[in-house]
Amino acid sequence: MSGGRGTPGYAAPELWMPFPITYKCDVYSYGMMLFEIVLGKKNLDITMSESQQWLLRRVWEKLERGELSDFMGFNGIKDGDITKASLLCTVALWCVQYFPEARPSMIRVVQMLEGSVEVTTPPNLQ
């Protein structure tokens, strides 16, 4: 690959940085897609203030304040489904880790979604 390519908001940081390009780019894109599905929000909203335009930044802020479930409520997620939606968001946060080596493989992502491995809260290494 001779230069950065990808859809803005879905492209992994290494596409624009001097990191090697690996399959972990797809893991990052999958995580961003999960956020859009669960939260019902675009990953980049230029109508918002600059500090709030990027969905990933807003998700981390909500998580750190313990308000992630409130964020999901805006998409009409019912109380009984908040636990499932929180799991999806936590898996997505693992997928969008800044450093590729911190992201899980897609096999591991599937295991997390199926419940066959424990899903812990990822660190914010952004």
Within a domain: 34: yes
C-alpha to C-alpha distance for 19 and 81, rounded to whole angstroms: 38
Domain ranges, residue 91:
24-114
Closest residue by Cα to residue 55 from 40, 67, 70, 66: 40
Within a domain: 100: yes
Say which CATH number the domain at 57 has.
1.10.510.10
Collapsing DSSP states into helix, strand and coil, what is residue 115? Answer: coil
CA distances, 44 to each of 53, 82, 119 (Å): 5, 23, 26
Each residue's pLDDT tens digit in the chain (126 positions)? 455 555 666 677 777 677 677 888 899 999 988 988 887 776 665 565 554 556 777 788 888 888 777 666 556 666 677 788 888 889 999 999 988 999 999 999 999 999 999 999 888 876
Closest residue by Cα to residue 91 from 66, 64, 59, 61: 59
Q: What is the pTM of this model?
A: 0.78
Within a domain: 33: yes
Total structural domains within the chain: 1
